[in-house]
Amino acid sequence: MHGYFGGYALVGLLGLVGVGFVAVGLGANRLLRPWRVTPEKLLTYESGVDPVGEDWSQSHVRYYVYAFLYVVFAVDAVFLFPWATVFALAGFGAISLGEMFVFLGFLAVGLVYAWKKGVLTWV
Amino acid sequence: MSLTQSIDYAAISPPLVVVVTAVAVLLADLFVSAEVRRRLLAPLALAGTLGALGATAWLATGPARSTFCLAGGGCSYVADGFATYFQTIVLAALVVVLLLSYPLFDERERVPPGQVPAAEFLALMLMSVSGMLVVAAGRDLLTLLIGLEVVSLPAFVLVGLRRGDPRGVEAALKFFVFSVVSTALTIYGIALVYGTTGSIELHHIAHALSTRHAHSGAMSATAAAGVVLVLVGFGFKIAAVPFHFWAPDTYQGAPVPVAAFLSVASKAAGFAGLIVLLVVGFRPYADVWGPAVGVLAAVSMTVGNLVALRQRNVVRLLAWSTVAHAGYLLMPLAVASSQLREGVRATLAYLGIYAAMNLGAFGCAVLVRRLHPRLAIEDLRGLVTRAPLTAVAFGLFLTALAGLPPGVAGLFAKVVVFRAAVHGHVTWLAVVAAVNTVIGLAYYLRVAALMFVPADDAPVAPSSRTWSVSAGVAIAAAVTVVLSVYPQPLLHLASTAAQR
Amino acid sequence: MHLSLALLLSALLFGVGVYGVLARRNAIALLMAVELMLNAANLDLVAFDAWFKDALHAGQVFALFVVVVAAAEVGVGLAIVLAVFRLRQTVAVDELRQLADVDPVLRVDADA
């Protein structure tokens, strides 16, 4: 249980214990319970309501814009993390803070553009 | 090692001015009335471009400036003669392209089919140019890669920006797919180069690669693979065969001024990055990339010229001609020896002349498209009677591209690259290029001759905003004529730019 | 030597990506394959960075930029695919053949 792969061995052992726990529990249940099926009982359980439609459904393409805006801003936020680790160190300080706000300002222009073009109104 | 950097804002002023202009155009579009927009947007973009051109000229007269430097040596951004040479070409090309695209603009809220939204077009074009300016001055792999991406991403949109144009979006998708795949290859190559050299700064890479190269083995092979993969991305940008497949379709489907922009400015940026990589970073592996560049050059000019022979659309013909010209531009770089500096000088000089004559040719295509929307070559028959000035200008640019009088500038350009190839002992390539020049004559002259066949049509009156296209073509023609008569200043500038 | 494991995984990912680019005809699937290629490069960059113990963390920083580049490419790419679908009712890249070298003149429609 030492070295680089030792940690993985522990994870693997934990995984085996987990699988075993579930298998034993479900197996015992299967042996002990009665087994009388009706069509109602075989329905997919959906919060107690009868399920509607197919299991395959498509979202409307208009949500693409929200997903897109989210991805753009979430991904641009990755630049904040390396900056956050250094900006308090000696030699960075106020100028680094200002530079980051310039960067955020450029992002804000994008957001203002989306807002003025009516992309952000919920439809 | 100090990690803090002070920024020399003077050195980065050209891209800075361009980016600020792009943002200003975008904000102006949002916050001013439609009537003001009509008169404001295009002049604002043009003013920003001219401002950046002024900043570049000022930088070119002073000593080289470097910024984003590391304490251990090596700078990420260097505004030297090489950078300002390319920046000048790109910005001057942008001025002409803006003039060519003015009739396409529509500043209204709802843009009718066939037009492009003015603010988005201008902002995207300025952003793309800011990337080109960064590529010209970038001296590490990260700066070059980000520059290249900033060039490409707006360009995809520009190609497909014309409203309701099914061929525009097809062109954009093809351009996009080829570009992202080649970028992915480049990034993987960069990862390999970083892994074998431990740096992304070009001088450090050159140093580490020379020790790698001395000991052959797995590491040397990995480094060579990385070098080749990185070059693929730039081969795509300059549309060299076999990375050219996107070019004819994209140029044909895009608005013609955008095709002009891609074929000149984007190609110039690609060459800037390619030359910096080859000459500075990957110099120790010259024996790997030298023959490869030579083969690319030979194949590009041959395929480009042969396929151009059977084209029947003006823009497609010009597109294949730009593929062939990528070959001529690569030819001097195949001199991967001690004569490389002269080769770089030849490529730079060729690029300056190519920019003028190619922009002019595409500008004439914009003018012809107004009369003949199909842009079939057959439509050009008798153009001289319908639009005499356009026909004369087009004739000038086509003969220049072929390398014949009266477009002597093209001849000078060819002589310069041939001389560099012969001096650098890649005579076989010069022979291939000579054969190709003859093939080129066939299709350039066929088109030029067709325009001067007499026909009994009346001249067509220009429509509004066409004056700006004519102005763009006039600028390109003036530059071509001046370079035909007195090319020494350009050759001198190219020599200074190649001294590094 | 753990570096070689990371490099092997990265090479495999890259291979899967290249296969996807060559084999898939759906533009969205093609984009996903490109993402695999980019992430293979990222894995390489981060692994080399850790291996060199690079004081500048050039590899890590590069990987961050590649993540952003990938997001930007996908953003623009999806917008283009959407535009293609609106105007052409398809996202299969091999069905887009209005622009080709087959017969340039006959295929030019009146788009002006």
Q: Looking at residue B1, what is its pLDDT?
A: 42
**Are B416 and B488 in contact, with CB atoms under 8 Å apart?**
no
Q: Looking at residue A91, what is its pLDDT?
A: 74
pLDDT, mean of residues B461-465: 71
pLDDT tens for residues C74-93?
989 999 999 999 898 888 88
B-interface mutation test, from A104, A116, A119, A120, most B Cβ less than 10 A away = A116
pLDDT, mean of residues B111-133: 93
Closest partner residue to A68 among C2, C68, C75, by Cβ?
A: C75
> What is the residue type of B335?
V
How many beta-carbon pairs below 8 A join chains B and C?
A: 152
Indicate the domain borders of chain C: 3-111
SS3 B236: helix
Closest partner residue to C34 among B1, B70, B181, by Cβ?
A: B181
CB contact under 8 A, B30 and A116: yes
- pLDDT of residue B211 exceeding 50, the answer is yes
Chain C residues with beta carbon closer than 8 angstroms to that of B172? 80, 83-84
**Joined tokens for residue C46:** 């981060």
B-interface mutation test, from A99, A107, A113, most B Cβ less than 10 A away = A113
Domain architecture of chain A: domains with CATH? 6-116 (1.20.58)
Q: Does C86 touch chain A (CB under 8 A)?
A: no
Could you give the residue ranges of the DSSP H alpha helices within chain A?
Answer: 6-32, 39-42, 63-76, 80-86, 93-116
Chain B residues with beta carbon closer than 8 angstroms to that of A109? 23, 26-27
Closest partner residue to C2 among A4, A68, A82, by Cβ?
A: A4
Structural domain of B344: 287-500
**Are B381 and B450 in contact, with CB atoms under 8 Å apart?**
yes
CB contact under 8 A, C71 and A72: yes
pLDDT tens for residues C30-74?
999 999 999 999 999 999 999 998 888 899 999 999 999 999 999
CB contact under 8 A, A82 and C78: no
Question: What residues of chain A have any CB closer than 8 angstroms to a CB in chain C?
Answer: 4, 61, 64, 68, 71-72, 75-76, 78-79, 82
B-interface mutation test, from C13, C69, C81, C90, most B Cβ less than 10 A away = C69
pLDDT, mean of residues B131-137: 96
Query: Which residues, in sequence order, are CB contacts of C75 under 8 Å at separation 6+?
Result: A68, A71, A72
Neighbors of chain B with 3 or more C-beta pairs under 8 Å: A, C
For residue B69, what are the β-bridge partners? B75
Closest partner residue to A91 among B4, B26, B31, by Cβ?
A: B4
Residue B8: phi and psi, rounded to 5, are -90, 100
- pLDDT of residue A5 exceeding 80, the answer is no
pLDDT, mean of residues A47-63: 76
CB contact under 8 A, A86 and B27: no
Between CA C96 and CA B167 the distance in angstroms is: 9
Q: Looking at residue B35, what is its pLDDT?
A: 86
Q: To the nearest 10°, the Cα dihedral for B18, B139, B352, B17?
A: 10
The confidence band for A119, taking pLDDT boundaries of 50, 70 and 90, is: confident
The confidence band for B232, taking pLDDT boundaries of 50, 70 and 90, is: confident
- Distance to chain A for C101, nearest Cα, Å: 34
Q: Looking at residue B405, what is its pLDDT?
A: 83
pLDDT tens for residues A14-51?
999 999 999 999 999 999 988 888 888 888 777 777 77
CB contact under 8 A, A92 and B2: no
Nearest-Cα residue of chain A relative to residue C74: A68
CB contact under 8 A, A4 and C68: no
**Are B123 and B25 in contact, with CB atoms under 8 Å apart?**
yes
Closest partner residue to A78 among C2, C67, C82, by Cβ?
A: C67
CB contact under 8 A, A78 and C61: no
C-interface mutation test, from A58, A78, A80, A103, most C Cβ less than 10 A away = A78
Q: Looking at residue A48, what is its pLDDT?
A: 75
Closest partner residue to A75 among C2, C68, C78, by Cβ?
A: C68
Rg (CA), chain A: 27
pLDDT tens for residues B32-45?
988 888 889 999 99
Nearest-Cα residue of chain C relative to residue A77: C68
CB contact under 8 A, C71 and A82: no
- pLDDT of residue C110 exceeding 60, the answer is no
CB contact under 8 A, B30 and A86: no
CB contact under 8 A, A72 and C75: yes
Nearest-Cα residue of chain C relative to residue B176: C77
- Distance to chain C for A102, nearest Cα, Å: 18
**Are A28 and A20 in contact, with CB atoms under 8 Å apart?**
no
pLDDT tens for residues A65-117?
888 788 878 888 888 888 888 888 877 778 888 888 999 998 889 889 988 88
pLDDT, mean of residues B336-348: 88
Angle at alpha carbon of residue B377, lines to B371 and B382, rounded to 5°: 60
Is it true that the peptide bond before B291 is cis, omega within 30 degrees of 0? no
For residue B237, give the nearest of B268, B259, B261, B260 by alpha carbon.
Answer: B268
Q: Looking at residue B5, what is its pLDDT?
A: 66
Q: Looking at residue A2, what is its pLDDT?
A: 64
pLDDT tens for residues B82-91?
999 999 999 9
Q: Looking at residue B233, what is its pLDDT?
A: 82
Between CA B121 and CA B155 the distance in angstroms is: 10
Residue B138: phi and psi, rounded to 5, are -70, 135
For residue B313, what are the β-bridge partners? B376
Neighbors of chain A with 3 or more C-beta pairs under 8 Å: B, C
Tell me the percentage of chain B whose pLDDT exceeds 90: 68
Complex prediction ipTM: 0.91
Q: Is residue B414 part of a domain?
A: yes
**Are C76 and A91 in contact, with CB atoms under 8 Å apart?**
no
CB contact under 8 A, B173 and C108: no
**Joined tokens for residue B292:** 């490869």
Q: Looking at residue B500, what is its pLDDT?
A: 63
Q: Looking at residue C111, what is its pLDDT?
A: 39
CB contact under 8 A, C111 and B167: yes
CB contact under 8 A, B2 and A91: yes
pLDDT tens for residues B357-374?
999 999 999 999 988 888
Q: Looking at residue C30, what is its pLDDT?
A: 94
The confidence band for C102, taking pLDDT boundaries of 50, 70 and 90, is: low
Structural domains of chain B, count: 1
CB contact under 8 A, C75 and A71: yes
CB contact under 8 A, B27 and A92: no
pLDDT, mean of residues B245-259: 94
Nearest-Cα residue of chain B relative to residue C18: B181
For residue C26, what are the β-bridge partners? C92
Chain C residues with beta carbon closer than 8 angstroms to that of B70? 56
CB contact under 8 A, C75 and A78: no
SS3 A45: coil
- pLDDT of residue B438 exceeding 90, the answer is yes
For residue B320, give the nearest of B404, B418, B234, B443 by alpha carbon.
Answer: B443
- pLDDT of residue B135 exceeding 50, the answer is yes
From first CA to last CA, the distance across chain A in angstroms is: 56
pLDDT, mean of residues B215-241: 87
Q: Note the CATH architecture for domain C3-111.
A: Orthogonal Bundle (1.10)
Q: Looking at residue C106, what is its pLDDT?
A: 47
Decide which of A73 and B63 is more confident. B63
A-interface mutation test, from B21, B23, B130, most A Cβ less than 10 A away = B23
- pLDDT of residue B460 exceeding 50, the answer is yes
**Are B110 and B37 in contact, with CB atoms under 8 Å apart?**
no
